[in-house]
Structure 1
């Protein structure tokens, strides 16, 4: 049976490729999330919620 794939690649289809841009993006997003969590925790301590 012939494939109906428009591009007919012999590789698997991936949403994101494992390259420098996606690694940098993932690390960047993780660092931003950690900073946001730390900021929320610090403001909670400063305002006396914890």
Structure 2
């Protein structure tokens, strides 16, 4: 098992030319699509909260 919690070498985003496993996210298509979906959902949720507050 790879324990990344206490490793000071862990970085946040991996560039495609770097060869190491000490990253939380990798700069690839899956990460970009996943981040876009999550950000889109958060925007929809925040919008729904704002709209429900206006019509309350």
Q: Would you call these one fold, judging by a TM-score over 0.5?
A: yes
Number of matched residues? 38
- Of the two, which has the highest radius of gyration? 1
Q: TM-score scaled to structure 2, two decimals?
A: 0.60
Any stretches of 5+ residues in structure 2 without a counterpart? 1-17
Computed over aligned residues only, the root mean square deviation of the Cα atoms, in angstroms, reads 1.5
Runs of 4+ in 1 over 3 A off after TM superposition: none
Larger relative contact order (C-alpha < 8 A, sep ≥ 6)? 2
Bigger helix share: 1
Q: TM-score scaled to structure 1, two decimals?
A: 0.66
